[in-house]
Amino acid sequence: MATGPDFNSPIETDLTDFSLINTPMLNKGTAFTEAERGVFHLHGLLPPHVGVLDEQVARRLKVLRAFETDFERYAFLRDLQDTNETLFYALLVRNLEEMLPLVYTPTVGEGCQRFSEIWRKPRGVFLSYANKHRIREILSNPRFDQVRVIVVSDGERILGLGDQGAGGMGIPIGKLSLYTGCAGIHPDMTLPILLDVGTNNKERLADPLYVGWRHERVTGAEYDDFVEAFVEAVADRWPDVLLQWEDFAGSNASRLLLRYRDRLCTFNDDIQGTAAVAAGTLLAAINVTGVKLTEQRIAFLGAGSAGCGIASLILQAMIDDGASETEARSRFFMVDRNGLLIEGMQGITPAQTPFVQKREAVAGWTLQTPNEIGLLDVASNAKPTALIGVSGQAGAFAEAVVRAMAQHVERPVIFPLSNPTSRSEATPEQLIAWTDGRALIGSGSPFAPVEWKGRTIPIDQTNNSYIFPGVGLGVLASGARRVTDAMFMAAGKALAKMSPTIDDKNGRLLPTVDRLRAVSLAVANAVARQAQADGVADRCDEAALSGRIKAYVWEPQYRPYLKRD
């Protein structure tokens, strides 16, 4: 069982003057006390007023709200994080609903596209292919000794925006900010890493400001050898680390997870985290619709790693609820770029195979175009109760599709999960209008409430931030050695148990964003208990486990400093 960290005792440091102020995790700005200013030679470097964290938060919040665009706010927050991390996280934790869209989706998408414009200070590690022989040397730096959670990306499939090269570093930075903001994992325990193997984005390569390795993407055996060298170095440097794969292209995401999930404690958030939040939100919607999980008919637009990950988890949940595997599989309708996945199609991947429809099941369908089965055909013939979009295609949930679905279902469950906002399959306003206000909506990015016939309908952001921070907290606190699929099932069910729809059929599907810390604690408890049940973590009683989880939760506040002799 892992040992909980100490967040209460004074911090000893031998840093002084500018070196202390320029260390983001130690900088207090105007909140250094008079005594600390004397001991650490700070007089004259700071204005004479001795402030407190509360007024610093108020000051930064005033500046933040004065900016005209969210990208300006994003850049401001990134600079604050690189200047004073305690203040940054105090601002984030106290204003989660306002800050989440600025720190992560949807604004992080533009942050990745314009990463080179605003890069100022080092954060995380760039492992470029040109430095492949230096991976172990780079990771050996003593400042990384406390690392327990790594988020790594190669920047190839950033949200729905595609290849952003080195700009993809914005994703690991943003994700780990939420590990801290939502679950309280101390910033010193986190490390964002970008595997810079080049980019095929011509705009990035032509940009004179681009900070990445100017080379077309390395692929094939060279790419695999580079990733292998990285994983081996990580496993040797941090045997107990939790490694999260993030925004790898579909061709690599599934196979890298399969290759490494039994070699170290690792998961892919795009596959498993997305699956858990979608499954949890669907279970919450069932409280409203009354349609049992085993009776759901689920259509997907997008049959890549995310879509198959969601379908796989829901499939297992159906089986757990008593459906046979054959019956459960028949209830999934996966539509990709070539239409509905059916027997005999070329290019079916192993992950897609369980969800391929039998030809006889669709033989009697009335089709818009002979021999082509599109999403509208699925909506008209399969009569899905739920529609999930992970296509990255803006507007892909056409009006005709949604209206066809709504003709056959009293309360259609519709999740346009692609983000950022510009890639959403439909806007909530459209979905509400096309279903006459009956749709139950979960969106990948935040949307404003929809006004409909005198009602104000809030829109739940079905975002992975409800899942992965709690998973990380549960793994760390329990000392889990591996991450199992059952742990993500437990996470999704824990989220569903917190749905307001349990007590109010007209309530939101998910808890509000300002409750994400409470959600993360609940998810962490469920994940940690499941890790014990799966035999990947040592057992202890529930009270001890709960205490261990709480011990890992860092609250952003200043601690007293002592001069190290």
Q: Which residue has the tokens 């790693």?
A: 305
d(CA 137, CA 148): 18
246 labelled ligand-binding: yes
8 labelled ligand-binding: no
Whole-number CA gyration radius for the chain: 24
538 labelled ligand-binding: no
141 labelled ligand-binding: no
Known active-site residue 132: no
Catalytic residue (one of 28, 175, 179, 552): 175
Tell me if 159 sits within 8 A of 109, measured CB to CB.
yes
Query: What residues contact residue 90 under an 8 Å CB cut-off, 6+ apart?
Result: 53, 56, 57, 556, 557
Catalytic residue (one of 89, 104, 179, 466): 104
d(CA 34, CA 239): 42
Where b means 16+ CB within 10 Å and e means fewer, 288-322 reads: bbebebbebbbbbbbbbbbbbbbbbbbbbbbeeee
d(CA 422, CA 441): 17
Known active-site residue 104: yes
Instruction: Identify which of 300, 245, 251, 302 has the alpha carbon closest to the alpha carbon of residue 273.
Output: 245
419 labelled ligand-binding: yes
Instruction: Identify which of 342, 404, 395 has the alpha carbon closest to the alpha carbon of residue 376.
Output: 404
Which of left, alpha, beta for 534 (phi over 0: left; psi -120 to 50: alpha)?
Answer: alpha
372 labelled ligand-binding: no
- Phi, psi of 165, rounded to the nearest 5 degrees: 55, -135
Describe the strand order of the beta sheet including 386-389 as a list of residue ranges. Answer: 339-340, 332-336, 298-301, 386-389, 413-416, 440-443, 460-461
**Annotated binding site for a divalent metal cation: which residue ranges?**
246-247, 270
**Annotated binding site for (S)-malate: which residue ranges?**
157, 419, 463
**Annotated binding site: which residue ranges?**
157, 246-247, 270, 419, 463
Which of the residues are catalytic? Answer: 104, 175
